[in-house]
């Protein structure tokens, strides 16, 4: 959920302030924090991982399956005569 919350927070601020913009009103920051806190808590309680966390976990599992298992390596030097 942290990755999704962070991404949503950044996108929402860019939408509200524009690229490179600045929001001086503290009410926007408080509202953003409250909405994220409530939404993230509810999502975590109901579904567990956030959407971007699920995608990241899926990609990591797929990448782990693509690597072949290591077979027996070369014999140690002490065993070779």
If you average pLDDT over residues 7-11, what whole number do you get?
A: 88
Q: Quote the pLDDT of residue 71.
A: 65
If you average pLDDT over residues 1-16, what whole number do you get?
A: 87
How many CA atoms lie within 13 Å of 71's alpha carbon, on the beta-carbon side? 1
Q: Quote the pLDDT of residue 34.
A: 93
Q: Quote the pLDDT of residue 38.
A: 94
pTM of the model: 0.63
Residues 6+ positions from 5 with CB-CB distance below 8 Å = 36, 40, 50
Summarised one tens digit per residue, pLDDT across range 19-73 is: 788 888 889 889 988 999 999 899 889 988 888 989 999 998 888 776 666 666 6
**Within its chain, how far is the Cα of 6 from the centroid?**
8
> Distance between CA atoms of 46 and 68, rounded to whole angstroms?
36
């Amino acid at each position: 959920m942290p990755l999704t919350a962070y991404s949503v927070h950044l996108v929402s601020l860019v939408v509200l302030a524009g690229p490179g913009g600045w929001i001086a009103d503290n009410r926007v920051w408080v509202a953003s924090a409250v909405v994220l806190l409530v939404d993230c808590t509810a999502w975590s309680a109901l579904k567990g991982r956030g959407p971007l966390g699920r995608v990241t976990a899926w990609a990591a599992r797929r990448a782990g399956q693509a690597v072949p298992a290591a077979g027996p390596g070369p014999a140690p030097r002490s065993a070779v005569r």
